[in-house]
Amino acid sequence: MIAVHNFRQAEFRSRVTVAILEMLADLPETHWKTFVWNHYRGYQPKQIAEILKCSPAEIEAALDTINSILYQKTQGLMVEGMPPKPNAKALASMAGRCCK
């Protein structure tokens, strides 16, 4: 219930939004487009793959990594009240993947 309680607080939602925007700013362009198209436009990985000329598996792997980073950041906000530092290793590993 902690997560539900935290997301009801405007300040917490704002901090999560900032964490998302900061993380997206660190991603390669194709990856932040992938995230935005999937989460805010409702595109399925297959559709994104067709647009970016990638395989759906590459898109799904990128989304899994991005979602994992965001989950860790959100957990850090809930537990510590402070966002954890970006997972540089995960972000760096994405740089060479998918749709250069």
Q: Domain containing 69 — which CATH number?
A: 1.10.10.10
Q: How many domains is the chain partitioned into structurally?
A: 1
CA 37 – CA 31 distance, rounded (Å): 10
**What is the reported pLDDT for 79?**
74
Report mean pLDDT in 10-residue bins for the chain, 100 residues: 63 84 90 94 97 96 93 79 53 57
Q: Looking at the domain assignment, is residue 90 inside a domain?
A: no
Q: Looking at the domain assignment, is residue 89 inside a domain?
A: no
**What is the reported pLDDT for 83?**
45
**What is the reported pLDDT for 81?**
54
CA 31 – CA 36 distance, rounded (Å): 9
Domain that holds residue 8: 2-84
Q: Looking at the domain assignment, is residue 95 inside a domain?
A: no
**What is the reported pLDDT for 7?**
67
Report residue 14 as tokens. 């704002």
Which of 20, 50, 16 shows the shortest CA–CA distance to 36? 20
Q: Looking at the domain assignment, is residue 98 inside a domain?
A: no
**What is the reported pLDDT for 84?**
46
